[in-house]
Amino acid sequence: MIEKTINFKKRFDELTELISKPEIIADQKQWKKLVKERAGLEEIVEAHEKLVKINEELDNIHAVLENEKDKEMIDLFKSEEKICHENIEKLEEEIKILLLPKDENDDNNVIIEIRPGVGGEESALFAGVLMKMYTRYAERNHWKVEIADLSETEIGGVKECSFIISGKGAYSKLKYESGVHRVQRVPETESQGRVHTSTATVAVLPEIEEVDFEILDKDIRIDTYRSSGAGGQHVNKTDSAIRITHIPTGIVVACQDERSQLKNKERAFQILKSKLYDYYKGQIDKEYKENRKNQIGNAERCERIRTYNYPQGRVTDHRINFTIYSLDTFLDGDIEEMISNLTLADQKERLEKAINS
Q: Is residue 169 part of a domain?
A: yes
Identify whether residues 212 and 190 lie together within a single domain.
yes
Q: Are residues 86 and 198 in the same domain?
A: no
CATH code of 342's domain: 3.30.70.1660
Quote the CA–CA distance of 57 and 55 in Å, as a whole number: 5
Spatial distance between the Cα atoms of 32 and 268, rounded to a whole number of angstroms: 24
At residue 217, the pLDDT reads 85
Q: Is residue 319 part of a domain?
A: yes
The residues, any chain, with a CB within 8 Å of residue 118's CB and separated by 6 or more, are 197, 198, 199, 299, 300, 301
DSSP 303: G
Would you give the DSSP letter of residue 121? H
User: Is 261 inside any structural domain?
Assistant: yes
Asked whether residue 46 falls in the same domain as residue 118, the answer is no
For residue 357, is it within any domain? no
CA distance 275 to 291: 13
Does residue 214 sit in the same domain as residue 279?
yes
Helices (H) and strands (E) in the chain, counts: 10, 11
> Which residue type sits at 71?
K
Domain residue limits at 8? 2-98
Q: Are residues 168 and 252 in the same domain?
A: yes
Same structural domain, 186 and 41: no
Are residue 120 and residue 63 in the same domain, yes or no? no
The per-residue pLDDT for 258 is 62
Q: In sequence order, what are the residues at sequence separation of 6 or more whose Cβ sits closer than 8 angstroms to the Cβ of residue 291?
A: 282, 285
- Identify the CA nearest to 127 among candidates 175, 177, 161: 161
- Among 10, 21, 92, residue whose Cα is nearest residue 45: 10
Q: Give the residue from 98, 125, 140 where a domain finishes.
A: 98
**Whether 229 contacts 235, CB under 8 Å:** yes
Residues 179, 159: contact at Cβ < 8 Å? no
* Burial of 18: CB neighbours in 10 Å, binned 0-12, 13-18, 19+: middle
Residue-level pLDDT at 284: 61
Say if pTM beats, i.e. exceeds, 0.75. no
Neighbours of 163 (CB within 10 A): 20
Q: What is the pLDDT of residue 227?
A: 67
Is the same domain home to 91 and 141?
A: no
Show the low-confidence residues of the chain (pLDDT under 50). Answer: 230-237, 288-289, 292-302
85 found inside a domain = yes
Within-domain flag for 355: no
The tally of domains found in the chain comes to 2
Residues 132 and 43 both lie in one domain: no
Q: Taking the CB of residue 285, how many other CB atoms lie within 10 A of it?
A: 10
Q: Is residue 212 part of a domain?
A: yes
Asked which of 51, 78, 98 is the last residue of a domain, the reply is 98
User: How many alpha carbons lie under 13 Å from residue 81 in its C-beta half-sphere?
Assistant: 13
Residues 281 and 237 placed together within one structural domain of the fold: yes
Query: 279 and 206 share a domain?
Result: yes
List pLDDT tens digits, range 248-270. Answer: 989 999 888 766 788 888 888 88
Shared-domain flag, residues 130 and 83 = no
Residue-wise pLDDT for 186-223, tens only, equals 887 666 678 889 999 999 999 887 666 778 888 889 98
